[in-house]
Structure 1
Amino acid sequence: MKFEIYREGGGGLLGNALAGLGTKGQYRWRLWSDNHEIIASGEDYVNKADCQNAINLVKGTNALTRVEDNS
């Protein structure tokens, strides 16, 4: 698995559509599985350091992290 940090609005249909929403240039993260599937992603961050902090919070979870099922 790997984390990827990228900037929003990087082009393409999705990037161009999101650029109109005021998120262009903001940082986002996503977690890729070994079979090249996105399995998690984060919100928009103005600062890269905040994006990296969010990744560290996800990395810090473990089997003891509570799961709340509200279904």
Structure 2
Amino acid sequence: MAGKFEISKRAHGEFRFNLKAGNWQVILTSEGYSTKSSYTGGIGAQEQQGRRPPRAQDRQQRQVFLNLTATNGQVIGCSRMNADEGGRDNGIASVKANAPDATVDDQPT
């Protein structure tokens, strides 16, 4: 089952997207976007990053999470917290497997 970008609109009017795996589990959540053109650009960047070696950053707090960054250093999406680096590494593999060919569920336009 292929991945999917699911667009939602926040209460204050901003849009965001979730990259979901084929099992519908959320891999990454985007920042908030004010316009459709800005979030479609974010999706395009995420699809491209899925085709390249990941430019992932992790921050060690109590748990580990993944920030997927564009080539300009801007954060495209953030994962949920993981208990260890293995969970983060699984997230990286899931982005690479799901983002390049993911469909877009663009309901709130």
TM-score in terms of structure 1 length: 0.67
How far apart are the structure 1 equivalents of 2:29 and 2:5? Answer: 9
Query: Please, which runs of 5 or more residues in structure 1 have no aligned partner?
Result: 10-23
Would you identify which runs of 4 or more consecutive aligned residues in structure 1 move more than 6 Å? Answer: none
How far apart are the structure 2 equivalents of 1:6 and 1:68? Answer: 25
Deviation at 1:27, TM superposition (A): 0.7
How far apart are the structure 1 equivalents of 2:58 and 2:8? Answer: 30
Matched, 1:45 2:33: yes
How far apart are the structure 2 equivalents of 1:29 and 1:64? Answer: 22
- Paired amino acid for 2:53: L
Deviation at 1:5, TM superposition (A): 1.2
- Paired amino acid for 1:26: E
Correspondence 1:1-71 to 2 at 5 A: 1-9=3-11, 24-61=12-49, 62-68=51-57
Structure 1 residue matching 2:44: 3-state secondary structure = helix
Q: How many residues align?
A: 57
Report the structure, 1 or 2, having the larger strand content. 2
Structure 1 residue matching 2:18: 3-state secondary structure = strand
Deviation at 1:66, TM superposition (A): 3.7
User: Computing the radius of gyration over CA atoms, which structure comes out larger, 1 or 2?
Assistant: 1
The alpha-carbon distance between structure 1 residues 46 and 63, as it changes in their structure 2 partners (threshold 3 A), is closer
Query: Please, which runs of 5 or more residues in structure 2 have no aligned partner?
Result: 61-109
TM-score in terms of structure 2 length: 0.46
